Amino acid sequence: MKEFGGPAVFLDRNDINTDEIIPAKYLTEISKTALKPHLLEDLLLDGKPFDNQSDRMKQAKVVITRANFGCGSSREHAVWAFEVNDINVIIAESFARIFRQNMFNCGIVAIELAEDKLNRLFELGEEVTISVNLETCELQAKDSQGGKSFTLPFELNSFDRDLVAAGGWLAYADAKY
């Protein structure tokens, strides 16, 4: 199974919706790569536009955010926009159902953590690296200097893990149904 994790970027807000992740005007694209520069283009954090072209954002493999991430539209383009930017894990207090399902269907890991655990990640500062072990259902978080580091357990449904292992829902369903 491929490696999951890497440098993280924080999106400190609840209810980040799919229109903010990828605006509808890009839904006329029929290639996933065309979405790459537009990820989180319309996101506001603290009322201010998010810099989706920052160095940190370009390095990120992991997104850490708050509750109800990915609410709104069913557009899988929102997940593909993360995929084509090499983000393979999103950690949140909760996800909107369709978005979470789209993630596992594409072989990207959605990790839900209770608010207190999530706060510990936010307290590590901006430069955090996450490594995820899907076998033991644990993630390790490190700050930039490696000074602070801790491990958190998370729950992963066995079917969701199987989808990630199979490379997504189409491959799984083609083999089984």
Interface residues toward other proteins, by CB under 8 A: 14-15, 17, 19-20, 23-25, 27-30, 32, 42, 44, 67-68, 71-76, 79, 94, 96-99, 101-102, 105-106, 157-159, 162, 168-170, 173-174, 176-177
Locate 104 and state its tokens.
């596992």
In angstroms, the CA 77 to CA 75 distance is: 5
The secondary structure element, H or E, covering residue 98 is helix 97-105
Which residue number, 1 or 149, has a Cβ lying nearer to other proteins?
1
The CA-based dihedral angle spanning residues 71, 40, 148, 156, taken in that order and rounded to the nearest 10 degrees: 40
Question: What minimum distance in Å lies between the beta carbon of 146 and other proteins?
Answer: 35
Question: What minimum distance in Å lies between the beta carbon of 111 and other proteins?
Answer: 16
Question: What minimum distance in Å lies between the beta carbon of 56 and other proteins?
Answer: 22
In angstroms, the CA 103 to CA 95 distance is: 10
In angstroms, the CA 119 to CA 2 distance is: 27
Which residue number, 141 or 160, has a Cβ lying nearer to other proteins?
160
